[in-house]
Amino acid sequence: MASLLRRFRLRTSLQSKLIWTFLPLLLLMLGIFLLYVNTFVFKPLWEKTVEETQLSAAKVSEQLDGYLDLQNQLSQRLLANKDLLALLDPENPPAYNKLTKDRLLKDYMFRALGPTMDIRDMIVYDLEGRELVSYLGMGAPSDLGPIISNPKYAAPLNDSHYFLYKDPHGEMAFIRSINDKDGKIYGYLYIMLDSAFLRKLADGVVGSDVYILDTDGTVVLASSEADEEYPKDELNREWSGSGFFTDSSRRHYVAYRTSENNDWTSVVVASKASAFGSVNSVRNLSILMIVSLALFSLVYVYVSARNFVLPIRRLRSQITRMNYSNLNLQADRRLHNNELQLLNEAFGEMLERLQNSIEREKLAVHEEVMARNSALQAQIAPHFIHNSLYLISIASQEGKNDAVSAMCKQLSESLRYIVSSPYQHVSMLEEIEHTKRYLSLVERNYEDDLEWSIELDPSADAIQLPRLVIQPFVENAIEHAFDSTDPPWRIKIAVKLYNGLWAIEIGDNGKGMNSEEIRRMMEKIEQSDHGVQEMKSESLGIGSMGVINTVNRLKLMYRNRVFFNIFTNEDGGTTVQIIASLKRDFY
């Protein structure tokens, strides 16, 4: 059974590889196609739809304004007739009977209307809102009192302005006061608008529904094909200015424009399906064709791979049966597809693979060095974190809340520096900045007892270092150098460049190290570098471990082209000196 399973896995391995290689190509093709459709088809079409819908709303609003402006001009022509005002003057009523008065009023209306008329009727009312005369008698309200007494319409009537009104029967009217130049009101003018003409304006937008809304958000006019079931909450809202949005159903685009002259809003609702239906059909059809072609290709690849694998499987079977006692095994003459020639060429490629193996070996050595450096660096980080948290806990116990907050922030920045990209080198400036953060953190605990200074060559940014090189020496000095020394305690860091070399000197004014301690330290560094001694904190002490660790990481990076020295200053204290080449031939 196990043998059968192995044969099945062998037979299907190449087929599976070919299929799984083809599937990402299929997904990539689909992704590119959808990206192309979205970028070069849908987006321009959407922008065009937005522009056309907004233009339609603006066009309907402008046509409505134009129509109402004509009615305003008509009313102005009628009001310009001084005889009309004299005829309606309640203080000095003319001595005409009603029949003569009606005839004169109709004559004034005829002169104002001219030869053409795009309204249904014109009616004149007195100050009490009673009908005086109707030009055509089309059924206007006989009493205008409830309308003119409505506070909603008081402002336009008193300001010699007009307003639009929709009566209970659905007829729309243009209403304004009849007044002189001083604003004195003599009566009211009621113009019944032509509903058929207004409906024609609404029907002028092809493929979209048009709604005309009054100031209350009520639909006063809709296009013939407008959806009567369209959600009222989409229309009954506060409208201002002009704009464009997608309604809550995500199926319609809505453009609107509010007229500055009459406060009515023209709303155009366009269906997404009508705008993108044809494009969606083409896209879906294209996706179906691509998927169908891909499935056909998968079947073809599977069948072709099966026929192609068979002779290779036979050849592999012969190779696996060859050994020292069976070197005369004859090749299968039934093999085709030129597999033996390909195998012959494979021997020629063996040298290339050997060369690749050598390169991989070099890469493995390189990665081993990087891993060793990372491991060494990882040994220092916990000690740094422990000391920092200990200093923070001391400040917390002393009630230095502001100092604790600042120290936590500095520790956070230091941790980000330590853990980010541990395999990458850093510049001298980055390492100095990390050391500054550490000194600032420690300084908050020691206050004025600790003094430190840094002298940095302007060109020091060209120096490359492993992470955590300077700070461990500073930490070691603070932990051990000032045990029996009175403050102030001073730490000085100097970075210099000369003759293709760079040097770092880290000095303190502590108790110093005697020659025997320096000798033991240098021996430990040499033994650790040659693998004689394991770096364990139990045997070396945490301070020695930090020094040895740092020197070894520098030697790994600079391939031992680094000089390290420790000496005691003449005026007390200890100085650590590191010198290396500026040449960037690192591991």
pLDDT tens digits, one per residue of 417-447: 776 665 578 889 999 998 998 888 888 777 7
State the average pLDDT over residues 303-319.
63
Q: In what order do the strands lie in the sheet with 172-179?
A: 131-134, 119-125, 185-193, 172-179, 162-166
3-state DSSP call for residue 581?
Answer: strand
Maximum average pLDDT range among 115-129, 447-461, 545-559? 447-461
Q: Give the pLDDT confidence of 386-405 residue by residue, as tens digits.
A: 667 777 777 777 777 777 77
Q: What is the pLDDT of residue 364?
A: 46
Residue 508 main-chain phi, psi, to 5 deg: -140, 170
The token pair at 220 is: 């006063």
Q: Give the pLDDT confidence of 45-56 residue by residue, as tens digits.
A: 777 777 888 888
For the chain, the average pLDDT equals: 76
More confident of the two residues 25 and 312: 25
Q: Which residues pair with 187 in a beta bridge?
A: 178
Residue bearing tokens 């490629």? 349
Maximum average pLDDT range among 416-420, 499-503, 581-585? 499-503
Using a cut of 0.75, tell me whether the model's pTM lies above it: no
Q: What is the pLDDT of residue 365?
A: 47
Residue 489 main-chain phi, psi, to 5 deg: -100, 130
Per-residue 3-state assignment (H helix, E strand, C coil) for 143-170: ECHHHHCCHHHHHHHHCCCEEEEECCCC
State the average pLDDT over residues 509-517.
87
475, 540, 549: which is closest to 508 by C-alpha? Answer: 475
Q: What is the pLDDT of residue 377?
A: 53
pLDDT confidence band for 1 (50 / 70 / 90): very low
Q: Give the pLDDT confidence of 519-537 residue by residue, as tens digits.
A: 888 888 887 764 444 444 3
Q: What is the pLDDT of residue 540?
A: 37
The token pair at 427 is: 């510049």
143, 124, 119: which is closest to 134 by C-alpha? Answer: 124
State how far the alpha carbon of 376 is from the alpha carbons of 372, 381, 546, 585, in Å.
Answer: 6, 9, 9, 20
Q: Give the pLDDT confidence of 182-217 residue by residue, as tens digits.
A: 888 888 999 988 888 888 888 888 778 888 888 777
3-state DSSP call for residue 586?
Answer: coil
Q: What is the pLDDT of residue 293?
A: 74
CB 498 within 8 A of CB 460: no
Q: What is the pLDDT of residue 579?
A: 92
Q: In what order do the strands lie in the sheet with 501-508?
A: 450-456, 489-498, 501-508, 574-581, 562-568
Q: What is the pLDDT of residue 504?
A: 94
